[in-house]
Amino acid sequence: MTKQRVWAAAAALFLLGAGLYLARQRARRSAQATEVAALRSELGRLQDRLEELSLGSTGGVLAAAPQQGLVIGVPAEVTLDVARQIMEGYLGSVTLTLRDLRVSKSGDVEAHILLADRTVGSYALEAQILVVRTTLRPGELRVSFGGQRLGFDVPVATAEARGRVRLKLTWQSKGLADVVCGDVDAVRDLDGRVLPAVYPMSGSLDVIADAGRLLLRPRLARKAIRIQVEATAQAWRAFDELLAQQGALCRGALEKANVKQELAAVLQRGFEVKLPLKLLQDITLPVSVQQSLNLEDGSFMLEVTPAEVVMTAQAIWYGANVTIERAPPPPPSPPDAEG
Amino acid sequence: MPDGSPRSADGLPSCRAGLSLLATFFVCVACSGPPSPAAANGGEILMLQNQIGSLNGLIALVEQGNLTRPNQLLVGVDEELVERLIAVTLPQERLVAESFRIRLEKATVRFRGNQGLVALTGRASAEDAPGTFVDVVLRGAVDQLTVERDSGALTGRVAIYSLEVQRAAAAGAEGGQVRALAEALGQASIDMFADLGPLVVIPIQLHEEIDLSGLDEEPVSAASGSLQVKLDVARVIAVSGRLWVMLDVVAGPWRSEGEQHSQ
């Protein structure tokens, strides 16, 4: 084999190899182009499918969203969890200070004297709470979704507490009794005990869009609770001593009037305690729309127009229209006093 | 040969060896295995396969009614608002790689089929020949939305993934320069344009503490306190003209003032 033949064979092999290589590359490119086209087509089909699903009923919670530029959806579970933890936590720190609360009871006492029923006297009982402090212990908050507001109810217990109660007993004898008994005007400060009790507290949580914020505004159905107080055994002993100091006739008249039982009943009926309107405050849900933005190249002002608050069984939706414009530059700083 | 290797006078043995090596090489190249996705369009194939996989997963979630979880806060912004949020930051002009000056003037946003596309149109000029320019479109997507812990804002950035040269604005004598600029832009690495992706701040504020003030109005007194709330971006989808951000919410515990001071 001559050198020339070898080189010719080499050239032929080179050309063959190059040809095969190019053909292979072309086939590869063609196969890839086909694959890319098929994948793009599949991608487009899936994108259309996703669009179709998200707009339809299968879009689930998103399908119920308002149509404004910016929407916020707070699911029922999150709303309930936030409201429950805040109300329970807050109410759990509440102390009720009962001061200068009064209840009273008065009446006439009649007796059969000299063949006729005659009024032998009249009594007036007043129980005054000087000061008693008790704490609230909320139970589990229940929230119901309905319409554009949420309903809530929570059992609130008052803890047992002690305090001072002033008892005032006035007895005015009349007729014959006046001669033998006279009047009684006695005051005793006694220990009282707030009875532990559970009060159902209920109301509504209105959903409010306030500028950029979404609020739950609580409204109590009843704005007062009735606190029941019981006199201690020591207090009753003091009361008995007070009666014992009276003459027999007088004591008999007071016993006839069932003053002790009347007093117990008065205390048991309890003292109405008005709750301040501010007891339950607005609860801000954990997302709001910003009123301004600071970006890399300046500050911007946002005008947020709340457009819609929609409640569904799944979520509270807040839709807002937002316009944005560059904030005016800050005013130039005043010239130096020296300048 | 001084090295004493066997060889004829005309050097044929080494020629034959070279020839067989060459043949082996070309046959290997020509008959190499099936096309690798890493070659040529391989990158696009991989990207499309990933997108399809992700879309199939998303569609399955929607069909099962599991797109959102009951503990997820939802925030949706439409294309128009995001366009305006980007537009107020325009025009922006940046020098890229000390070679090109790019001025971005308009943004177009499209949220469809789980693709959050942002097209930024503008003009590129050579730094050393400002009169020579071409119109360009930078394409990207809203990426990496996160909750900023200090401000409670939800922010992301437009990640640029392609640059298209639209139209040569100069003609005639400057045609050559324009073509050179267009070619240089075409050959530039896309990473060089990363800084041009604008910041996208969704104008919401996430509150990681919900405060209640104390009350001292007889007969009631109550301590102030706050509820801790942890919010994390769980999923972002672009569908039906909106970008949806789903945030996992973990609320609690409530801390009243006394407890906070004791910690």
From chain A, pick out residues whose CB is under 8 angstroms from the CB of B25. Answer: 17
Whether residue A257 has pLDDT greater than 80 = no
The position carrying tokens 């084999």 is A1
Report whether B140 contacts B156 (CB < 8 A): no
Query: Could you read off the pLDDT of B93-149 as tens digits, one per residue?
Result: 989 888 889 999 999 999 999 999 999 999 999 888 878 888 999 999 988 889 988
B189: Cβ contacts below 8 Å, ≥ 6 apart: none
**Percent of chain A surpassing pLDDT 90:** 26
Residue of higher predicted confidence among B209 and B194: B209
Q: What is the pLDDT of residue B230?
A: 95
- Summarize the confidence of residues B59-81 as an average pLDDT: 92
**Contact call for B45 and A281, based on CB within 8 A:** no
B21: Cβ contacts below 8 Å, ≥ 6 apart: none
Q: Residue B136 CB: number of other CB atoms within 10 A?
A: 23
Task: Kindly report the average pLDDT of chain A as a whole number.
Answer: 85
Which residue in the set A78, A96, A315 is minimally distant from B219, CB to CB? Answer: A96
End-to-end CA separation in angstroms for chain A: 102
Considering only A2-11, A20-29, A111-120, A197-206, which range has the smallest mean pLDDT? A111-120
A48-77 burial, b for 16+ CB within 10 Å, e for fewer?
ebbbebbeeebbbbbebbbebbbbbbbbbe
DSSP-derived secondary structure letter, B188: S
Q: Shortest CA distance to A166 belongs to which of A258, A238, A82?
A: A238
Compare all CA atoms of chain A with the CA of B9 and give the residue at the minimum distance. A3
- Summarize the confidence of residues A10-32 as an average pLDDT: 86
Give CA–CA dist B72/B66, Å, rounded: 11
- Summarize the confidence of residues A224-228 as an average pLDDT: 85
Q: What angle do CA B151, B152, B154 make, to 5 degrees?
A: 110
B47: Cβ contacts below 8 Å, ≥ 6 apart: none
Give CA–CA dist B156/B150, Å, rounded: 15
Compare all CA atoms of chain A with the CA of B246 and give the residue at the minimum distance. A73
CA B15 to chain centre: 54
Whether residue A339 has pLDDT greater than 50 = no
Angstroms from A294 CA to nearest CA on chain B:
9
ipTM strictly over 0.85? no
Q: What angle do CA A46, A48, A51 make, to 5 degrees?
A: 110
**Percent of chain A surpassing pLDDT 70:** 94
Q: What is the pLDDT of residue A269?
A: 82
From chain A, pick out residues whose CB is under 8 angstroms from the CB of B221. Answer: 94-95, 97
Give CA–CA dist B96/B118, Å, rounded: 20
**Contact call for A51 and B239, based on CB within 8 A:** yes
A10: Cβ contacts below 8 Å, ≥ 6 apart: B15, B18, B19, B22
Angstroms from A170 CA to nearest CA on chain B:
29
Handedness of CA B8, B9, B14, B15 (dihedral sign): negative
Q: What is the pLDDT of residue B261?
A: 55
**Contact call for A287 and B244, based on CB within 8 A:** no
Q: In the structure, what pLDDT confidence band is assigned to residue B2 with cuts at 50, 70 and 90?
A: very low
CB of A212 less than 8 A from some CB of B: yes
From chain B, pick out residues whose CB is under 8 angstroms from the CB of A13. Answer: 19, 22-23, 26
Amino acid at A48: D
- Summarize the confidence of residues A312-325 as an average pLDDT: 90
| Alpha helical stretches, state H, chain A | 3-55, 76-91, 176-180, 233-244, 248-256, 259-269
Whether residue B246 has pLDDT greater than 60 = yes
CA A321 to chain centre: 28
Q: Shortest CA distance to B255 belongs to which of B229, B216, B237, B217?
A: B229
**Contact call for A97 and B219, based on CB within 8 A:** yes
Amino acid at B186: G
Q: What is the pLDDT of residue A114?
A: 64
Report whether A73 contacts A81 (CB < 8 A): no
Query: Could you read off the pLDDT of A146-190 as tens digits, one per residue?
Result: 777 789 999 999 888 888 888 888 888 887 666 667 788 888 888
A49: left (phi over 0), alpha (psi -120 to 50) or beta: alpha
Give CA–CA dist A133/B161, Å, rounded: 68
The position carrying tokens 């000087």 is A130
The position carrying tokens 């059992």 is A155
Q: Shortest CA distance to B247 belongs to which of B150, B152, B112?
A: B152
**Contact call for A71 and B74, based on CB within 8 A:** yes
Whether residue A64 has pLDDT greater than 50 = yes
End-to-end CA separation in angstroms for chain B: 90
Report whether A239 contacts A188 (CB < 8 A): yes
Whether residue A242 has pLDDT greater than 80 = no
Query: Could you read off the pLDDT of A259-268 as tens digits, one per residue?
Result: 778 878 888 8
Query: Could you read off the pLDDT of B9-26 as tens digits, one per residue?
Result: 444 455 565 556 555 555
B5: Cβ contacts below 8 Å, ≥ 6 apart: none
Q: Quickly list DSSP for B183-223.
A: HHHHHS-GGGGGGGSPEEEEEEEE-SEEEE--EEETTEEE-
**Contact call for B25 and A9, based on CB within 8 A:** no
Q: What is the pLDDT of residue A189?
A: 85
**Percent of chain B surpassing pLDDT 70:** 79
Handedness of CA A261, A263, A266, A267 (dihedral sign): negative
